């Protein structure tokens, strides 16, 4: 009987372990579906013992990375809000990066979300195609020039490594592994039982608008302010007043960071809220518009189509998750 595929679930200070838990559960489900152990998952770290992960969670690494026979290692993401924070964590994990680079060459290395940056730092992506979470794309292209970045893709699979974008990037990695090792039918059964619908790739008009990462604190404050204000009350003067600066200063800073006017940037943020409600709920457009403070459904529909090229109902049909 073939030996199980031995997968190391990598822990390191500051890592976000939720994806590791879900990955392990999917492998366990595949084992149950097959009736024998196809996969063997082990939590590993630089050293065996407790590891302080993100949000105050401490987890136990069962084995040391360099002292365990593994067929593959899954590198999770870690919490960061800027490229500078990413670079700082990668630098702080120099010993881990070295351990990843010195591992057996036939060992598979998989990473998702910001964890891809650790994989890039260890050199194992050099000359390979890879992807990374969208807001890090430019910074990673500049920092790791030997990697053939393909950031328009959600996931990229190579012979000895795989990368995926987003905090849910563990999912396509697990699905690919299960389908290859078991079957497409088995994968379908498992996902029907265990996996919520994966968030759709957002419309291009909204791909750079998420609050989770903005180039500076001003844009984060502006973003939150626009989301809280009724649409019809949003003016450049109102925003500048609440941010305690002149309209001219606000326009200059927003323009330098985004290349857009304040009005266009604010409109995109507000319409992104509309788009989220269209795909996440079944609320009628009139209710969505009233909730977000638009003066009329016809005005909202006109602005939405001008930005996305789609009517709100066409957008819902294309991107709906409910």
**What is the rounded CA–CA span in Å between residue 269 and residue 220?**
11
- Residue 299: what pLDDT? 93
- pLDDT tens track for 16-25: 999 999 999 9
- Residue 212: what pLDDT? 44
- Residue 197: what pLDDT? 57
Q: Is 199 within the bounds of a domain?
A: no
Q: What are the tokens at 28?
A: 């366990």
pTM: 0.64
- Residue 199: what pLDDT? 52
- 121 and 210 in a common domain: no
What is the total count of domains within the chain? Answer: 2
Question: Which residues in the chain belong to E strands, given as ranges?
Answer: 5-10, 39-45, 49-52, 58-61, 63-64, 72-75, 108-112, 129-130, 148-149, 155-157, 161-164
Domain that holds residue 270: 204-319
- 122 and 50 in a common domain: yes
Of 194, 226, 245, at which residue does a domain stop? 194
Q: Is 271 within the bounds of a domain?
A: yes
Q: What is the mean pLDDT of residues 147-160?
A: 92
Asked if pLDDT for residue 208 goes beyond 90, the answer is: no
- 141 and 99 in a common domain: yes
- 290 and 214 in a common domain: yes
Q: What is the mean pLDDT of residues 89-112?
A: 96
Of 159, 175, 194, at which residue does a domain stop? 194
CATH number, domain at 242?
Answer: 1.10.10.60
DSSP assignment of 4-69, as one string? Answer: PEEEEEE--TTB-THHHHHHHHHHHHHHHHHTS-SEEEEEEESSSEEEE-GGG-EEEE-EEGGGS-
- 224 and 144 in a common domain: no
CB 27 within 8 A of CB 174: yes
Q: What is the mean pLDDT of residues 125-154?
A: 93
**What is the rounded CA–CA span in Å between residue 97 and residue 87?**
12
- Residue 282: what pLDDT? 79
């Amino acid at each position: 009987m073939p030996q199980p595929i031995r997968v190391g679930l990598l822990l390191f200070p500051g890592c976000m372990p939720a994806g590791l838990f879900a990955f392990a559960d999917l492998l366990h489900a595949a084992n149950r579906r097959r009736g024998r152990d196809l996969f063997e998952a082990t939590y590993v770290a630089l050293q065996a013992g407790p590891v302080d992960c993100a949000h105050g969670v401490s987890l136990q690494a069962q084995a040391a990375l360099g002292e365990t026979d593994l067929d593959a290692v899954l590198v999770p993401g870690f919490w960061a809000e800027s490229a500078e924070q990413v670079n700082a964590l990668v630098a702080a994990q120099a010993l881990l990066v070295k351990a990843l680079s010195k591992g057996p060459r036939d060992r598979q290395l998989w990473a998702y979300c910001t964890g891809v940056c650790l994989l890039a730092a260890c050199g194992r992506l050099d000359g390979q195609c890879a992807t990374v979470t969208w807001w890090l794309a430019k910074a990673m292209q500049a920092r790791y020039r030997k990697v053939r970045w393909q950031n328009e893709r959600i996931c990229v699979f190579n012979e000895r490594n795989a990368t995926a974008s987003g905090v849910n990037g563990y999912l396509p990695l697990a699905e690919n592994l299960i389908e290859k090792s078991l079957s497409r039918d088995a994968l379908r059964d498992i996902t029907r039982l265990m996996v919520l619908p994966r968030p759709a790739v957002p419309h291009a008009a909204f791909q750079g608008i998420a609050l989770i990462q903005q180039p500076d604190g001003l844009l984060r404050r502006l973003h939150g302010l626009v989301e809280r204000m009724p649409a019809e009350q949003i003016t450049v003067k109102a925003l500048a007043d609440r941010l305690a600066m002149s309209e001219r200063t606000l326009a200059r800073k927003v323009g330098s960071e985004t290349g857009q006017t304040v009005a266009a940037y604010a409109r995109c943020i507000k319409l992104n809220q509309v788009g989220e409600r269209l795909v996440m709920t079944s609320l009628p457009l009139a209710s969505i518009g009233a909730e977000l403070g638009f003066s009329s459904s016809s005005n909202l529909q006109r602005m939405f189509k001008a930005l996305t090229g789609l009517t709100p109902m066409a957008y819902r049909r294309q991107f709906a998750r409910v």
